[in-house]
Structure 1
Amino acid sequence: MQCIVLLQNAVIEVGDDMEIAEHITAVGQEAKTLAAAADQGGLDVEVPTCPGWDMRELLRHLSMIHLWAAGHVAQLHDGSWGDDLAEFTEFWPDLAVFWPEDEKLIGWYLDTNANLVQTLESAPLDVEAFTFLPAPSPLAMWARRQAHETAVHRFDAENAAGIASGFDPVFAADGIDELLMAFAPRRSEFPIDNERTMVVHATDTNDRWHVTLAPTGITTVRGDGPAEVTLAGDASDLYLAVWNRGDSSDIDITGDRNVLAAFHNGHRVRWS
């Protein structure tokens, strides 16, 4: 199987298995870094980028997401998984403990992550599974989604613990692409009166996305074009900006900032 990705304005053919493997590696690596931040910051520290959560709640959330994702890839039952925690207990009685005591929480999180990594690595490339984002294959979608889910929450944990945080430029550009090309266009409406346009330009990878906000939803194409506001900067900083993290101080914003505010205020990531 082959997929087409755009890197540095060149069309490059990449084998699905290579890209999937890179995302699976990121799932495990980001989890270890997140766990170290949680250990340093402590479970009671508030997570400013996830209002109302402390580090404890962040770990619980991500552990459940890892079990949820692994359940889909492992095809433990037909259809999508709901929010019934008992379903996890049925298939993973040793992992689906809601919730472990504090002294076991970080280790338990790492165990749920290792279970996810093992499930992704052992799945056939043509596995059939529920998906909710466009991708070359279900396995590609779940590996990519869990890589960025873990990475963004790794930033949340490090930020809460007072640790400087950043991302590899190519990985960050991939995360921007997932949000703008896959998540954002899923909705058929957007809370805006008139069509507005925005360009996001990752200067270190030379990737560009042209985003149109309209009452009928968001559309995104890879490339440049006329826009009312342009965001330019390193991919790592832009990754945080489009995911509503960071303060955008390292990004060059040219044009009407109200368009960016409309995107931030109107776009919410959901899986359903």
Structure 2
Amino acid sequence: METAEHIKHLAREGQLLADAAEQAGSDAEVRSCPGWTVRDLLRHTGMVHRWATAFVADGHTSYRPGGGEPDLDGAALLDWYREGHDLLVAALSGAPDSLECWTFLPAPSPPAFWARRQAHETTVHRVDAESALGLVAGRSPVAPELAADGIDELLCGFHGRDKSRVRTDPPGALRVRTTDTDDVWTVTLSADAPRTTRTADGPAECELTGPAEALYLSLWNRLPAGTPAVTVTGDDRLARLWRETSAVTW
């Protein structure tokens, strides 16, 4: 996907998140993130948006920690979240292709990295916000191309790093195949960090198959185990291993 497309999705998903949060209220439980309320979700996502904006807007070339979560609630918290989201969209929309700043996953350019990363950060948390309304079948859809792109970022990006905790002995291969886009990934799992290829070459002990949106949310652990939208064939040990060890934390 192009950077402009990621920014477009970021803008839409951030607005949907705010709308769902406003409707649910600060005290509502976020069902997809046990232990969180909408208040926690807004504080976290708003902090991440401002953290990302600082790299893009100020061109920081080394890591800097986030500014922390605010002691805000209710309408003031929602306004703070919306303001931070708008600042991020504006910073990315105005960033030149030549911008140099710190990133943490491979990408064609820093603006491309931050647009992609924040589009998916916001999409996943928008799903969280809508879960606070009890929305499952009625939640806002994730476009297949965006979902497939997010699967790729998760498998090849986050879990292409040595810090991934998805490890197993004996080894095995987990295949992920979308049914509504032409995408397939093979994740080689072992005692070392996972290694993913964008192919269906070779055998796989376990395969996850389904629409890109269902796979995206399942791999991010936003859908419950056994969701009928995702078909698991072969050794479900690897599917359980993913669910138990793949969480990406701040």
The residue aligned with 2:181 is 205
- 8 Å CA contact 2:51–2:67 kept in 1: the answer is no
Which deviates more, 60-69 or 73-82? 73-82
Name the % identity. 44
CA distance in 1, matches of 2:199, 2:66: 38
CA distance in 2, matches of 1:138, 1:178: 15
Is the aligned partner of 1:218 residue 2:197? no
The residue aligned with 2:110 is 138
- 8 Å CA contact 1:172–1:239 kept in 2: the answer is yes
CA root-mean-square deviation: 1.7
Q: Deviations over 1:111-147 (max 9, x none)?
A: 1000000111111112101110111111111000000
- TM (norm. structure 2) is 0.92
CA distance in 2, matches of 1:23, 1:56: 26
- Within-5 A mapping of 1:31-46: 31-46=14-29
The residue aligned with 1:251 is 230
- 8 Å CA contact 1:213–1:263 kept in 2: the answer is no
CA distance in 2, matches of 1:35, 1:83: 21
The residue aligned with 1:228 is 205
The residue aligned with 1:153 is 125
Query: By percentage of residues, which structure has more strand?
Result: 1
Is the aligned partner of 1:162 residue 2:134? yes
Counterpart secondary structure, 2:195: strand
The residue aligned with 1:123 is 95
CA distance in 1, matches of 2:67, 2:54: 13
CA distance in 2, matches of 1:46, 1:261: 25
Q: Deviations over 1:196-219 (max 9, x none)?
A: 111100010021000111111100
The residue aligned with 1:23 is 6
| Code of the aligned partner of 2:235 | D
CA distance in 2, matches of 1:132, 1:57: 25
The residue aligned with 1:89 is none
CA distance in 1, matches of 2:58, 2:169: 42
CA distance in 2, matches of 1:222, 1:270: 25
Q: 1:220 to 1:110 in 2, by over 3 A?
A: same
Q: Deviations over 1:218-252 (max 9, x none)?
A: 00000113101111110010000110111232111
| Code of the aligned partner of 1:100 | L
- TM (norm. structure 1) is 0.85
Q: Which runs of 5+ in 2 are unaligned?
A: none
CA distance in 1, matches of 2:178, 2:35: 31
| Code of the aligned partner of 1:121 | S
Is the aligned partner of 1:240 residue 2:223? no
Q: CA deviation at 1:81?
A: 1.3
**Number of equivalences:** 243
Q: CA deviation at 1:158?
A: 0.6
Q: 1:242 to 1:134 in 2, by over 3 A?
A: same
Q: CA deviation at 1:78?
A: 4.3
Q: CA deviation at 1:40?
A: 1.5
Q: Which runs of 5+ in 1 are unaligned?
A: 6-18, 86-96
The residue aligned with 1:260 is 239
Match of 2:64 among 71, 81, 86: 81
CA distance in 2, matches of 1:112, 1:216: 38
